[in-house]
Every structure is written in structure tokens, then in C-alpha cells.
Structure 1
Amino acid sequence: MDTADPVALGVKRTRCLPGESLLPPYVERDRDAELGDRVVEAARSGGLVVVTGAPLSGKSRTMWCALFTNLPMTTRILAPQPGTDLRGLPAVLRGRGKESCLLWLDDLKGHLGEHGLTPTLLAELVRLRVPVLGTMDDKEYDKRRFGAAARAGVLSGAEPVELRREWSSAEQRRLSHLLAVPRLRAAESVRGGHTVPEYLALGPELMEEWRRAHRTDAHPRGHLIVRAAIDLGRCGLRREHVSRDVLRRAQALYPQELSTARSESFEDGLAWASGLRHGVTGLLVPGDGPDTWAAFGSLVADVNDRVDSPPVPLGMWSLALSAAPGQQNWNVVWATAQRLLWPRGTGEPEVAAWLGEIYTVLGQRGMAKQWLRTAADAGHTEAAAALGELLASIDEPAEAIPYLEQAAGAGIVRAQYLLGMLLAAQADSWLTRAAEAGHRAAADALPPLRRVTDTPPDTVKE
């Protein structure tokens, strides 16, 4: 048993980053002690132990931990594939002498039938004192235990250990003690209406399906819509604020992907992305508002945690800010933007320029000057124009002129106009001094110059 691979035996792997184990630490379930006692008794006397529950309720992991915790590490695990003919199993087991073995039948429904686990075979395994450990979906168990096609002879002798889909308060408390583990912390914080096992088990499946959907013969539009929803989630926009219209507008921020996505309509892509997988969730899950959507939580967490993930497009931050209603929601997005963009701003002029623009709108002139200057000094001409305008507006023309010259030289018309007006104002000041000192030509030049400097800015066409 010490060399057995739980994932190969049916335990769902979770999302993990390079260097992490496939499975996070196990969170104890309320029925672990009872299940452990049954496993020990089955190992002593033989018999069937069954764990039932909803899909992705953690049945296989719970059973695996029960046998790993309660049985000797030298126990040999026999794990046949569903549909395997088991009629010759007793002969094989008798030939193993005193070696302790157990029969692992994950997803028990695939092992029932005349060539599978029958009452006769189960009785023989009991005589050999071989425990049989199985897992089964609740509905499948009820159908075979109580329905017309019931295998009562196999299932009636073993009361199942049922795992509830929703975790109890005690299970939630035990989870809270393990929140230092990133995957469990993410499962607790962004799982939405899903259980922790659902979140952990579905993550890798959904991520792989999404990654492969970008092909033109697959679901390129659906892939793009999900990517936009992931990035909006990375911005901190709450799920009830990601409307269908916001997702439509977000597509334009990925021009290359959008050009290859035209083979699929927006509606078809949205239908594919929101379709249920495993009867539990889609890549997109409904938000709390009407016709709103959000990416499944593990997709956002996985993209956030991977160092090779592309950054959120700058325009997405603006879209997220405009879509966040109310000051509190806006503050969440803005705080997220500052936390993620500040480290990039010193090396990426586009990011610095965006930060300067937002700080200007917020009226935080000191921060606006800092980021616009960072961008302008790195050659960003739009930032140079914006910084020149800001400096001119707070009566700092000497600082404004070099930046306006930078932008004007790059062809930005509004910078050319403002630069001309500032230079004209300087000329007016010097000509006035000269005229007052008796310089006749300076006095003659002032009236036509003042027809320019005294003209209100809103009457001048660019």
C-alpha cells in the first residue's frame, strides 16, 4: 500500500503549481472515525464497506484516507478496472498465502454484474477475510439497492457511509485550520456556491478543457469569453457585476483572439462556457445579478498563481472600474489595480501612464505627476502631453514646457496648442518688461500678441 498511487485509484487530482503535491492535505470528515472502524472490521473478518455521496463529494479521497490510516502499509491493494471479470479472484487470493490484501472497487457500479461482484463472490471473499472497499454515487446506489435492477444480495449486507455534499460546521472549522495551504485557502475563499471537494476536483478538468478550446475547430469564442471573465475576476470585479454586455465589450481587448473567434457566435460561445460539467458547474457560473457571469473560482486562482500567465490587459482595468457600481466596489477594483500594477509601473511606460491617468481623474495630483513623469521620461508621448497639461493647470509652466515640447514634437496637437499658448504668455511677460523700459518695438508687438493670449481657450479650434 505504501507504493499505491491514490490518483490512479480514482482520487481526483487538484490544481497544483510546479513543485506541489498532486493532493492537498486531507480535511477530516465527520464520518471518518465510523468509516475507519468499518474498514478495520472488514480487514479482520472480510466484508464490503461502501462510501456513498453526490458526485465530487470526496468519496474516493475519504475512503483512501480510511484505509491508509487504519490498515498496515504492507497490505496489497487489488484495483481491477470496471468491467473486469472477477470470477477467478478467489483462486488468485488463495495462492497468496498469508499476505494481506484488499479489493478496491472505486465507482462500484462498474463492478456489479454476473462477472463482477456477486453475492457468491462476496461470500467467498468474506471467507478469505478479504475486505472490499467501494465508492458509489448516491443515485446509483439507490437504483441498485432499491430499484427494479437491484443487486440487493451485494449491497444489502453493508450499510453505506454517506458523505453529505454540504460540509458541516465542524468540517468547516477543520478546514479553517489548514488555510495556510494555498489550494485550500483558495478553495475556501473563491469556491462560491460549490463545496471544497467540488472546487478541488473540478479545477484541473476545467482548466485543461479551457486551454484546449482556443482552436478554431473547437470553441474559440467560448475560450475568449472565459478568458475575459477570468481577467475581470483577477481585477477584483464581483461576479454580480460581470454582465453579458461587459463580457461583449471585453472581447475587443484581445484583438488577436477575437480575430480567430469569429467562427463561433457570442451566444454559442457563452452557451458552451456556461454548460454544466459533471452535473455540477460550467467554466462560467451564474452571478448573483440578472444575466451576470463569473469564471469558476479555480480558473481565476490558477491563472493568478502561475508565473507564465499573461497580465490583465490595461484596458480591462478601466472596464472593470467602469462596471463596478458604488464606491465600495470601485475601491476594491482600484485597490487591486494598485497592488498589481505598481510593481510593473516602473518598467512599463504604458502601465505608468495608465496609473497617472487614473490618479489625475481622482484629483491626486502628486501621484499623478509621479506616474506620468515616469512614463514620459521613458518616452511615452501621451503621458508627456498629460503631464504637461497637469503642470500647466497648477501654474507650473516652467516644468510643463519640456514635456509639452516632447509631445508636440511627436505630433500631439493639443500639446502643440498648449505649448504655443505657454510660450506666448512668456513672450508677453518679457515684451511687457521691455516696453515698460521704453523699447518701442516691444510695445508695438504686444497688441497683436495679446489678441492670442487673451483669447479664451474654448474659442480656439484645434
Structure 2
Amino acid sequence: MLAVLPEYRIFAPETAFELRQYVVGLVTSTEKCVIWLDNLEQYLGSDGITPRVISYLTQAKVILLATLRAEQFNMLSQANLLNRGVDDHKNAHLHDVGAAAKVLNQAEVTIVERRWSRLEIERATKVSDARISDALAHHDTYGIAEYLAAGPKLIQEWQLAWASGVSPRGAAIVAAAVDITRAGLTGAIPFRLLEQTHQYYLDLAGGALLRPEAMPEAVEWAVKPRFGITSMLLPDNAENSYRAFDYIVDSVARDPAREEVPDFVWESILYFATREEIDLFSVGNAAYHQKKYHIAELAWEKLANEGDVEAAYDLGRLLKRDRRFSEAEKYWSFAARGGNVDAATDLGIMLEDQTRYSDAESWLSVAASRNDTHAAYHLASVLDKLGRRQDAERWYRFSASEGDNTAAASGLGRLLEDSGQLEEAERWLRQAAPSQPAAAVNLGVLLARAGQFEEAEKFWRSAAERSGLDTNGRTAASNLGLLLARTGRFSEGEGWLRKALEAGADDVAFHLAYYLEEDGRIDEACEFLWHGARSGDERAAYNLSLRLYKDDRPEEAEQFLRQSAEAGSFQAAYVLGGILVEREEFEAAESYLEYAADAEVDQAACEMGTLVGKLGRLDEAEAWYRRSIAQGHNHSACLMGSLLAYQNRLSEAEVSYRIAIRSGHGHAAKLLSNLLARQNRWKEAANLYRVAEKSKYPASKHRNKSSSHKNRKKRKRRGR
């Protein structure tokens, strides 16, 4: 600072409050100013340095220089990342939401290495100062800067002080100050708190057997300056308060054999906070990072119940981490109403996970409207699930464009693909695919549908290799395996299909069985059909039933046929309905055949007509036959003709028979010939009889399709 800014005036405030008092004056001053803050953590928070204050100072070209210990830097940078995913790093804060992390993010960091460089040491050897000469002898162990600060000797003196007759009470006071600082109380420590807690350490070391000195002597020993530089306890500006020397605190924090801060100390701090001004937020943060979650909860709960919005936010995250969702919702909703955007976002995400989409939409809308791109992404996801695709598209676009959110780009691409906007969908999916396996999977689907199989293969392979066994990985492996199998590379495709199946993609078993059967590996194919059927795949259950019928295992076959039909297979319902008709279980048969007929399964409407006709419901039978004819099955006209003739509706019956005859139905010609003969229309009857005799569908070979289960099995097997 002296070398680079010699003409600047220096302002070195002692407290955050003093700094804030002079910010306006510094910003408006015509003089060049530099602010010096030793131990930056003491100046952070709503009463001190915030991102807004940084902005004011930057605009006014006021330079801010500060020091910060490595331990504090790491803690503040990662503060309050409670229970967050890897990509959810934007909410770190201390005191105010985001304040500490955002301040540090704007800093130009210069790391002062613990050990000096070779050139620095060479220059130091040319200095005649005896203290530097002494420090040079120890630089390999401690580093010159630390040694010059008397750190190691203070540590040694503190350790020796525990001996009887030296200063065990003073050592206990220092130990208490160190652990209180480790517990997050980085500011002044009231002497009464040291007085209350030090006895714990003294008793632990031996108590009265150490013949401890009186309290005044102990304090005098702890605050006595060493080497004309520093002391173990540093008197603070606050009345009757002290701070622990940083080197001692850091030395304990770095020691891998260090003990945890005792619960007694945490509890004393919380108790003391009811009577003195204690930074409970910082205490809660330290407790969390030291896995003293119950202490963190107590500290933040006290602040939150007193109206502290930021504490309510962090308490909510702690409660969510413990799956105490209703309590988390209580504190997050309070924090969100108090203006905390992150609370609104996190609450919305939690409610989305609980499928409470309407409530989630309300909170996410609050955060998204304040330009929170992460909230915008989740709002789009919620709206997508609610079927409000236009609104979802708008928020996906906002999040993807403004926040460079690849997850939002992936969601937008999928949405556009579903709505047929393939060109734009491809652009967004390509943008997201390198970091979002879901986007790579969807892009592969889009490309495969366009016939770009080589590129689809590339994206699916990438997603399968990156995602391991998660949902995207299973889908990618399954799609890749099917693509390879369909393009003649079944040996490689089989490997990916097996990986997908092992990862839980049970629907792959059906496809594996199909390709194994095509490859002539029938026994293996059957094994996968069994796997698929047992996992609930209706296609596998249907094909397995056909295989079991072929192997003359009808009871097992019908069991899986029913499973397939109950799982939604129209084809299985049709086949099962025919079997039940043959067994004259008409009521059950009707429900299955009607289900298949509603899905327009070939012949199902016709067989429904025949079934309800047998049950005497002639009007329904006629309706089903007409429905079958409308679907293009003109042979049903023959059956309807017989139904109409039975009702003596001869002219209508004649029309139906002629429709069937035009389709080449010889039996219809025979039946109409008989009908015309009864009406003495002999010439026409004779002509039709000759048509029937010449037809490739003579009367002797006509029968209702539902009467032959074996033929049905063969037909459906071929149609698979």
C-alpha cells in the first residue's frame, strides 16, 4: 500500500459501525482514500461491508484493502451451503443472505504465503534487524511472518503455563477464548463469558491440584505483551472484553488432533446471548460446519423467533436437511415474506418435490419475478407439470437466456420438441447437451426421428457413459442398445441393453427377448420375457403367454395373458376375451372384448357383436357390427345380415349381405341366395348360389373368428 498508493489518505476504522458512519464522507470526498480493514470478517454484515457498500466505494474509486485468514476465507466462501446440490452454489452468505460470499467474489485476492519465496528470503538475509535474523533460522518450520508475530513462542508458553505453579488459570482462560472464537464468536468476548467457561478447562487439566493463581493474576498473564508485539489475549475496544490472538486460534484449528469445541461452551454462549449482545448468526454458522446441528438450530431459532429473516432462512435449510419439512416451510415462508428471495426459491423447490404444484408456483413466481433465474427454471418445471406449456416455455426461455442455465435450456428444448418446433428445439438441446445428460438423451431422440442415426448414437453414447446408472443413463443406454440392434449391430447393442436392464430399466427385457429370439437364442429370450413379465411389462407378459400356449402350458399362459390385459394391453384383452367366450364365461369375456373393441383392435367389435347377440341383446349386436363395418371389416356385414334376417328385416339384411359379397365373402352370397329363394326370387338366388360355389370363401369354410384360439395365437404372433 505504501509503495503503490503513497499519495492516498488511509482510513482504518475500528468497527463495522464506524466504517458505515464514514462511508458517505469517503464516497463524496475529493481526496484519494484507501480503507484498511484488518480481519475482514469483523466488518461483514448489514452494519458493515455489503455488496452495495462495495458498489458505492468502487464507483467513487475508493480503494478497499483487507486481510482475512485462510480459515475465515474458506468458511465465509462456503457459508451456509446447507444441503445444497453441486450446481446450487449461488446462495452462500453470512449475516445477510449472500453478503459475505458476494463481497469475497468481488475481491481481487492476494494470497500471502505462509513461507516466503527464495527471493524474499535472500533479501531478508541482507537486513541487519536481529529479529529477522532470528526468524530466518526458523522459516522452514513456521514461516517468517508468523515467527515475527511471536506465534510459535506464544503457543509454547501457553502449553507450558498449564503446569502447577506457572499460570494454569491463565492458560484455561486462553483455552476458553480460543474455543469461543472457534464457536463463531469472532468479535469481542465479554470477560464474564470467559470467567464462566474457563473453569471447565481448568478442571479438565487438574483443577485445584494445579494450585491455580487468582483471576486478576491470570488475566494479567494472558494480556501481557510478549516480545513487544502481541499477547495471548488482546484487549478489545468494548469494555471489559477480549479477543484471542489469531495465531493461536489458527494453530488449534489446523491441528488434526484438536478436540471438538465442548457442548458446555456452545451452551454457555447461547445462555450468555440472552443477557449480552452475541452474534448468534455466526455462532449458528460455526456450529453447523462443526456438525453441532442442534446448537445451530437453537442459535438460528432464537434469532428467527425475534424476527431475523436471514436466520429464518438458514434455519429452514437446516430443518429441510433433517427432513422436517413442515417446520422448514414455516421458517422459509416467514423469510420469503420478509423479502428473502432465496427462501422463496428454496420453499418453492421443496413444495415442487412434494408435488404441491400450486403452492410451489406461488413462491417460485415471487422469486422469478425478482429475476432469480434458478427460481425461473423451477417455475417453468412446475408449470410444465401443470400442463401450462406456454407459460412454462416463457420461464424456461428467461432462465436459459438470462441465467445461462443449461438445465433450463434442456427443458426448453424438450418442450419445443414435444410441440413440433424441431429446429429451435435442436438448437437449445445442442446448447445443453454437453453438461445435461437429459438434453443429450432428448437430442438423440430428435436426431433419430430425423434419420440422423450416427449423430443420435454419439449423443446417447455420451449420455450413457457420463450418467452411470441414473435415469438419464438408463434411458441413453436403452436407446443406444436398441439403435445398435436395429442397425444390425446386435452384439454391441446387447451389451448396452443388458447394462440398462441391470440399472433398473425393466422395459428393456422385452426388447432383449425380441432380438434374442430373432438371433435364434430362444431359451435366453424366454428368460428375459419372464423377467419383463414379472416386472409388470404388459408386452413381455403377452408374448410370454403366447410362448407358454405353444409349450402347452395353458394355465400359466392364461395367468400372464390376464396380467397383460389388466396392465392395459388391448391385444391381450382381445385374445383373453375369445378364450372366455369359448369357455362360455360371457360376462368376463364381454369386459375384455369391449376394452379391445374400444381400442379398435382388429375383429374385436365384430366379436362383441356376436357375443351380445348370443346374450339376446340384438340392438347392441347390430351397433357393434355396424361399428366393425365402419372400421373397414366388411365381413361383419355378413353377420349383421344374418342378425337382420333373424329379425325379419329382410331388405336391410339383403343390403348387408351385398356389402359382404362385394368384399368377396362367399358365405354371404350363400346366405343371401337362401334369403332370395324364400322370396321366390329364383333367378337372382341361382346366380348368387353360383357365386358362393366359386368363391374362395365357400360356406363350408366360414366360421366365427372367436371360435379358434389357435388361429388367433398364430395371427397375433405374426403381427407382433
TM bracket, shorter-chain basis: 0.3 to 0.5
TM-score, normalization by structure 1: 0.36
Structure number with greater CO (CA < 8 Å, separation at least 6) is: 1
- Between structure 1 and structure 2, the one with the greater Rg is 2
Give the TM-score, by structure 2 length.
0.24
Query: Larger helix proportion, structure 1 or 2?
Result: 2
